[in-house]
Every structure is written in structure tokens, then in C-alpha cells.
Structure 1
Amino acid sequence: MNKKIRTGIIGASINNGWASGTHIPAIEHLDEFELTAVGTSNMPSAKKSAEAFYADHGFDNMEELAQHPDVDMVVVSINVKEHYNAVKAVVPAGKPIYCEWPLGSNTEEALEMQEWIASAQLPNAIGLQARQAPAVQYVKDLLAEGYVGKVLSANLKISIDGMGGVGDKSSAYLYDRKVGGNLLTIVGGHNLDAFTYMLGDFTELSATTAQQFPEVELVDIQKVIKKTTDDQIMITGKLTNGAAASVHIQGGVKHQTGLTLEIFGDNGTIVLSAPASIQFGSHQLRGAGSTDNELRELTIPDAYYSAPHSLYNDSGIVLNMAQAYRKFAKDIQEGTTLAPTFADAVKLHLLLDAVEKSAQTGERQYL
């Protein structure tokens, strides 16, 4: 058996709800990994977080964390505006890197980061963990096996209550286009990646975006800020298999309905639904094949669960992360490329660029 991969997480603060609620529980459930180091913005926080998460080391310097002999792999789980500098600091250590999505604040940053990784030939993974969700994997295989026959069309609708006209101080960056973390890149990125992973890439698309909330009230500090991001995104296009596709992503919905993906084929239908964005799990599947008279619930086979049994009842937030980590462990130890990589991230950044360009120019984009 391979030794455990000693992991250092940049951003593993007790105040970082994402890292502490996903990365750290996933590592705790997996035999392949152990958390040995945490990095935060200052030493008091680093020491406190290291103690809370039972890590041996706390750092306020990214280079020192990456270079430490007790760290075999580095995870970057901080604000997207800091990803570029973090990856730049970590690459010289010559260790595998897992970075949260979005990879960079823009495509230029993402391309440069991918070039660093490729030049150093480092195992790398991007945090597009929805691909590892059992439901997403199962739908991908059902389509490949011809469950619905020829895919005629697919439509995806996501509505969330956030990223509209109300937020707080900690989420203020989501409304600043320059930062690169917003409704299109975060919610759109995760969902479009899963959509194309299951169904195939867009070959052409048109997009319309709108900003229904020009200002955001930060309720905890009683401040109103200008908003430079969109809260309505609509995409139509064609996929590589010839299917027609439509995607509607909207934020700031008072009574949000979550996610619905409908896939229609000439012999059947699949419907995937969830209460929130696709990477958060809680997926429900219904389908009807060529011999069915109506839609029925589809049970996901156990083979699609690679995470430990202790996570089988998890909604998916930790489960999907654990499955992503398990695939990345194989990539590190066996030289495979099972987890999505920085190259996949660049491809997704380019897709989002095409969406923005179409929305800004009114011109159809061909990919």
C-alpha cells in the first residue's frame, strides 16, 4: 500500500467555511491522505487553525508551506484573486497541486498557471468536483450506453437566492467583475463543466446576460455597493453530438427552485434535479428508456461511489470532494489523469469567455 499523501492546505482557516466544510472532512475520511499543514494570512490564525484541525504545522507563508518536507501535496483554497500568486509560490516546490475553481481571475492568468504546471510536469487538479458526483457519472454513462437513444436536446435551469441584490462583507467580491468570482464563473463554471462533461462540448453558442440588481446591500455592515457582474445568464447553442442546448442561470431569486436538467432523446428522457448548484449534490434522477411508459426514479448503482461507505449518506458536498481527492491520489501515485486538470480549467475559462463575448457583441460564437 502506498504511504499517505501528506497534504498542506493554503486557506485552511477555521474562518474559511469552504475548506473546513469540504476539503478537511474529505481528507479525514480517506486513507490516502493526511492533513499535515495549514496556511492562513497570519501566524496566530495559522497556529489556531492547525490545532483545530490536528495538523502538525501552521504557516503564514505559502512558499514555506509548499517547501516543507512534511508536505507532499498542496491545496489552494482561497479567494480566486489570490490563486495566481499562490500557484506561482507553490510550483517551485515541485509538488502536486489541487486548486479551487476558478483557476484564475481571468483566462490569461489561467493559461499562465497551466503553462507553469506543464513545464514543471506536476500532477495537478482543478476543483470541478461535480464531475465526480455519482449522479453525474451515471448520467454520462447512461447517455453513452444509449439509454435515451440519440440526444435531441438538453436544457439546464439553475436559480439561486444569492448573487443578486443582497450580500454581506465576506461575499462583496462576488459582485466585482475584476476579481473573477461571480455568477457566471462560479455557478456557471461548475454547471457548464458538468453539463458538457455529460453531454459533450458546445460547438456554437449565443448568449444574453442581464443585470437586474445594479447595487448590492451588504446587510452586516449596512453598506450599498455598485455591482459590475450579471445576475441573469442565458445560453443557447449546439453540442458536438448535434443536440440543441439551452442554459439559464439566475441569481437573486427570492424563492429559488434549484437545478433542473432535462435531456431528451429519440428513445427516452433523463431528468436530474437538485436544490442548489450542481457541485453541492443532493441529486435526484428520473428517467424513461425505450421500454418505459413514464418517468421513474433511477437508483444510482453502488459502483459509482468510490468514497468510503461513511460518506454514502452525505448530501454530496463532502462526498463529491472525497471522490475527487481519491481520483487525484491515483493520478499522483500511478501517473493517471482521472481528475480534471488545469488544462480542463483553461478550456472552461475559454467557454466562459465565449459566453461573455456573445453577450457583449450579440454575435454567435463558434468553438
Structure 2
Amino acid sequence: MYTAKKIKIGIIGANPERGWASTAHIPALKALPDYELSALSSRTKEDGEKLKATFGVPHVYDTVSGLIQSPEVDLVLITVRVPRHYELVSQAAKAGKHVFSEWPLARNLKEAAELAALVKKNNVKGFIGLQSRSVPAVRFIKDYIAQGNIGEVLSTSMIGSGIIYGEFTEKANDYTVNPENGAGMINVTFGNAVDALAFVLGEFTELSATTATRRKTTTIVESGEAVPLKIADQVAVTGILVGGVVASVHFRGGHLPGTNFLWEINGTKGDIQITADGGSLAVFELTVKASKGENSAMEILEIPTVYNLVPDRELGRIPTNVGQNYQLIQQEKAPTFDDALIRHRMIEAIEESARTGTRQSYRLSS
């Protein structure tokens, strides 16, 4: 699909009033010269007219199959709730369309493995919205370490907030509190942040985990109704990364008055510290500091502009971060369904360790 012509994108899940597609993907696509937002799908004719007027898209289909089968679509972007991913990715792949699915790829490892196999069987590309690893600051940190600036990496620690999964939950996110939907904190916020850690420093070779549900209910903001919180709102993992790096990660549900994101990387010649106002690296602005030499002061590192692959420097932070993935597709460096499968395996290993109290590992190859 890496051609000289513009890649035509069809989006399933766009909402004219809210949502990740309208906040992140659509502004990014409109700012990228190699892409064309060509089609959207809607549930009703009225919604379709509103989508067309809001986003200025030439084609709006009143069925998902209409969009997927359209000759005006090269790549299908899926931004709906996780439980529908399996069905929609399957339809697109079987129709011979390339797919970009938001993370998580599926509700569980079994579904994710089937989808990763399906895109290969149908000879199409499958890309995954693991945006945290594609953020300019994260890609810069990876290179900064590889260049030897902090020496040999000894250890890393990450603490973060789940943003949601706390005392209050908006109605639009009420499905996330049911583990059957595969959209809990361990899947979404934790999974995306730890993917960045693994991208920069390497995967876990072995891990031990503790999970817990400390809040038994969460209150729906709009109605005041208290509903059961069935997913883990505490996830703590320790282990060894490739190369012997000692790692610890702890995520807690909600948006906190204290530390919402802190990631430290400690090396023999210096340290790196990344902070933000929330546990989603693609949503919140990252501040990167580093020291050089033992006991030297931490100083802010400016991220070189070359790491921002989006040409529109006036674009907001979120679409800029999401836009990196589209540019990385052109460079054949974007995260794929194979990367998503590794992350799903890691999550299953964490859950198994927490359930059994045993150290676990997970497979890194297909």
C-alpha cells in the first residue's frame, strides 16, 4: 500500500460531536498530504448528512459493509468500542482492505491472534493504534539511550494514573468497567504506556504481577448511579527486561491529585525522567529531563523537531501524536497487528501471574 498516490481512508466510528476519531484521527488526516479522508459510515441518513457537513468528507455510507466494499477506501480505520473490533477487522481483511484498528486490537488474546493471522492470510496490512510508542518524545528517548547518553541502562520505574477507572465514569465509558469487553485499565491506559516502555527498553523476559479492585463501584457522572467496578483498578508489575534491566510499573485507576505519570530510566552514566499530567502518553504533554554523570542535575531535554513527522506545526498535541502513526506507515515503521499480539500476550501473562502468584513470560515471535 506504500504508493505515490494518496491513501484513501474510510473511518468506522466517527461521531460529529465527540470521540477519538473526531478529536485525534480526522484532524491528523486532514493535515497529512499523503492521506485523504474519503469516507465515513453512519447509522442513519440524518447522521450521515451531519457527518458529511461536519467533516467535509465526500462519501458517507449508511452501512459498514458499504464503506468496506467501497472502491474509494484503501484503508479502513476502526475507532469503535473494543467488542466490535473482531467483527469489523475481519470484514475489512476478508474484503482485501488494509486495516488500522485502535488499541486494544481485541477483547482478548484469542481474538487478537486470529485477527493477526487473518490479515496475513488475506495479504493485507494491519496497523494498531499503540500511539504512545509513536509520540515524538518517546522515539527520541529511544534513540538518546541507544546513542549511549546514559550508559548502560540498569533499571526503570513507571507510575501512572488510569485517567478513568476511578471514582467517577462518564456514560460513554461505562462499558470499560466490565472485563468481558477488554477495555479495562490493564488493557487500555496501562497497556499503551507499558508498550512505550517495551519499545524503548525491550520486552519483559519474566514478570511478577499483582492486580486488585480496590473500588467496588464507580459513579456514572450523568446519572449519579453507582455501578459495579469489575476490572482491576490497581496493576503492579515487576520483572526483568531483555538485557537484564530491572523494571517496575504501577498504574492506579482515576485521575489523581498526586503523581499522574512518572517514568524514570536509570543508567550508569545518567538518568532520564519523563512526567505528564496523566497516564496516557499520547494525550498529555510530556516533559523530558536527563542528567549526565553521577549526581549531576536533571535538565530539560528539548525534543528535536525532526521527531515530529507531522508538517503542520500548529496542529494540536493529540492529533499531532496520532498523526505520527500515519507517517510511520509510510516509512514502514508503524506498529502492526504483530506488535498488538505481543502486547496482548504480555497482558495475559500479567493476569496469569496475578491469578496464580507465579512468575510468567510471554512469546515475542509470531
TM class by shorter chain equals over 0.9
Alignment of 1:34-49 (within 5 A): 34-49=36-51
User: 1:2 & 1:256 partners in 2: Cα distance?
Assistant: 48
User: 1:273 & 1:165 partners in 2: Cα distance?
Assistant: 23
Which sections of structure 1, spanning at least 5 residues, go unmatched?
331-336
1:280 maps to which of 277, 283, 290: 283
Partner of residue 348, structure 1:
343
Change (3 A) 1:270 1:233: same
User: 2:26 & 2:63 partners in 1: Cα distance?
Assistant: 20
User: 2:233 & 2:134 partners in 1: Cα distance?
Assistant: 27
User: Letter of the aligned partner of 2:310 in structure 1?
Assistant: A
User: 2:319 & 2:122 partners in 1: Cα distance?
Assistant: 30
User: Letter of the aligned partner of 2:165 in structure 1?
Assistant: M
After superposition, what is the alpha-carbon deviation per residue over 1:142-200, rounded to whole angstroms, capped at 9, x for unaligned? 11111111111000010245211311321111100000001100011100100000011
**Contact 2:162/2:190 (<8 A) preserved:** no
Q: Which has the higher helix share?
A: 1
Alignment of 1:296-315 (within 5 A): 296-311=299-314, 314-315=316-317
* SS of equivalent residue, structure 1 residue 310: coil
Aligned residues: 359
User: 1:351 & 1:249 partners in 2: Cα distance?
Assistant: 15
User: 2:164 & 2:125 partners in 1: Cα distance?
Assistant: 34
Change (3 A) 1:232 1:259: same
Alignment of 1:349-364 (within 5 A): 349-364=344-359
1:89: Cα distance to partner? 1.5
Change (3 A) 1:254 1:290: closer
The answer to whether 1:137 aligns with 2:132 is no
Partner of residue 94, structure 1:
96
User: Letter of the aligned partner of 1:13 in structure 2?
Assistant: N
User: 1:112 & 1:51 partners in 2: Cα distance?
Assistant: 37
User: Letter of the aligned partner of 2:309 in structure 1?
Assistant: S
Partner of residue 242, structure 1:
244
1:293: Cα distance to partner? 2.6
Alignment of 1:30-69 (within 5 A): 30-69=32-71
User: Letter of the aligned partner of 2:359 in structure 1?
Assistant: R
User: 2:118 & 2:18 partners in 1: Cα distance?
Assistant: 27
**Structure 1 stretch 147-156 or stretch 46-55: which is displaced more?**
46-55
User: 2:228 & 2:63 partners in 1: Cα distance?
Assistant: 33
1:26: Cα distance to partner? 0.2
User: 1:253 & 1:135 partners in 2: Cα distance?
Assistant: 22
**Structure 1 stretch 351-360 or stretch 256-265: which is displaced more?**
256-265
Change (3 A) 1:87 1:160: closer
- The TM-score normalised by the length of structure 2 is 0.94
User: 2:125 & 2:169 partners in 1: Cα distance?
Assistant: 37
Partner of residue 327, structure 1:
328
The answer to whether 1:338 aligns with 2:333 is yes
User: 1:256 & 1:47 partners in 2: Cα distance?
Assistant: 44
1:323: Cα distance to partner? 1.2
Alignment of 1:66-77 (within 5 A): 66-77=68-79
**Contact 1:160/1:257 (<8 A) preserved:** no
User: 2:84 & 2:182 partners in 1: Cα distance?
Assistant: 11
User: 1:263 & 1:279 partners in 2: Cα distance?
Assistant: 19
Q: What is the root-mean-square deviation in Å for CA atoms of aligned residues?
A: 1.6
Partner of residue 223, structure 1:
225
Which sections of structure 2, spanning at least 5 residues, go unmatched?
none
User: 1:296 & 1:235 partners in 2: Cα distance?
Assistant: 29
1:241: Cα distance to partner? 1.3
Change (3 A) 1:109 1:25: same
**Contact 2:162/2:185 (<8 A) preserved:** no
**Contact 2:219/2:226 (<8 A) preserved:** yes
